A and B are shown apart, each in its own frame.
Chain A
């Protein structure tokens, strides 16, 4: 043993450390850490950018009025700052989008994970991702100039601008989001679970729905939450296809304004800095940011959970 150590361990008298401190190495590390700081600064910047004008805003408009008011008319005289119509618009479009994206996305994930042969999956999965790569302004154009007229042609009495068309097109856009994260979770379910169920005589339908889906449920829920979060944060489709009227209605065939569409529509105009109209952008932006942040944190936790269980 002693001879081995002598052969492999450090020889006496030889120091493995660098003979002199290499300052350039520290400089490099510093520069790289500075790069990493950019994303921290981004977060801090977003929080400050949103908070400061929002605090001023809530100095002029009471928080209770903001969250319980049913009329949103910041540019009118007398103005009214009830955010509920915007929230309702967001909720409506999001609900429609989720009704499309969740079942279709989950089914697509089950197909890719449990039914498709490896070669088929290799082609289908990236092809489906193409949907996620199309700019949203293009989907907005499609919803306004093709899908809404199509709905009218099949006898659904929708307005030229409506939440239904925007929501459905957005839902299809979100199918890859749901499918890809759900499929990842299903792929992480150990083979043994499936084999055991098949050995007990389970059919493919039973194994998929009673073994794989329950085992991958945290990942599936995560994909759903991320889809909701993305639907809430999506701007261009609703700005183009859902119209610009902030009204409190549950009827998806009507025009609506979402939080994102309001921010964009107001930001386009040349509102004077410091005016109350200018500050509404930030108050609504803060509301949007907090909602999506909570959902994202939740989704990220869930994804980590299924990774811990099976990997």
Chain B
């Protein structure tokens, strides 16, 4: 046994010190992110807890911080989630099905479609806001309404829904659809009764994550005009606000107490996101099968 280290030799002290220092540097680097995340959460909770009460959840905004609530904003965010679910998920899953099951990848237009989706995923969100401002709010004359905001967020998260749905559909083994074809099923029968049901947990997980991304999005909604003062409960075709917008509005106020109110709003927003993400993880662990 002693012969082995004799052949390989010991590493020199300098080399070991360098190796140790490098390791230390790596550990430090990966810690930075967690330290900032931890500090951020502690800071937000420390500032926001005093204002986290039923007034925040049930009252409309007000000029005095103690009486101000985020009821219209929270409702706006909830309505937005509903509309997104109705618009982004069907269109996204439809596109994914087209690309995975129907599209001939040798055709130029299908390749272009894929590249297009990849690029859309990386377009800055404020650019979607410009699209909304130009076409929905002013072009179509829809005005600064909740539906316009939801449509823009739909387009924004569509690439995420498409990519995750494609992965879920691709994970369904070919043998299942081949078996169905062998029994004489048509293509749509195979997809709607075999492939889709098997892919639903994956699609649902991806869709929830996409939705979570959408409701935290602020910049495009600013351009679609969610910044107006809204004290009444939102309607789909009426003026609206949303939780991140309300938070931004409170941050922008000069009075210090509004910043604390913003922190309380952030806690609510983070809580909603936490529930959604936890739901997605639970879904994945509970239903996702490995073939």
Contact = CB atoms under 8 A, between A and B. Distances in A.
Interface in A114-134: 115, 124, 127-128, 130-131, 133-134
Interface string A143-184: 011100000000000000000000001001001100100000
Contacts of A142: 40, 43-44
A73 interface: no
A146 B39 contact: yes
Interface in A26-45: 28-29, 31-36, 38-40, 42-43, 45
Contact of B23 (A34, A52, A115): A115
A111 B129 contact: no
A107 B155 contact: no
Nearest to A273: B138
B263 A141 contact: yes
Given A142-B40, A296-B119, A45 B131 contact: yes
Contact of A135 (B11, B102, B216): B216
A144 B247 CA distance: 13
Interface string A200-211: 010111001100
Given A107-B30, A135-B269, A35 B36 contact: no
Contacts of B93: 35
Interface residues of B, number: 84
A98 interface: no
Given A39-B95, A203-B11, A236-B218, A300 B115 contact: yes
Given A108-B26, A145-B259, A36 B99 contact: yes
Given A141-B247, A144-B251, A282-B134, A43 B119 contact: yes
B33 A172 contact: yes
Contacts of B126: 233, 235, 260, 263-264, 285, 288
Contacts of A110: 26
B85 interface: no
Interface stretch (A17-25, A60-68, A81-89): A17-25
A54 B11 CA distance: 64
Given A36-B98, A267-B133, A204 B19 contact: yes
Contacts of B188: 24-25, 28
A267 B223 contact: yes
B29 A107 contact: yes
B222 interface: yes
A22 B184 CA distance: 13
Nearest to B223: A267
A103 interface: yes
Interface in B261-279: 262-263, 266, 269-270, 273, 277
A213 interface: no
Q: How large is the interface on A (under 10, 10 to 19, 20 to 34, 35 or more residues)?
A: 35 or more
Contacts of A172: 32-33, 36
Given A135-B269, A138-B270, A53 B277 contact: no
Interface string B13-44: 00100110011011111101110110110011
B159 interface: yes
B97 interface: yes
A137 B162 CA distance: 26
Nearest to A146: B43
Contacts of B39: 146
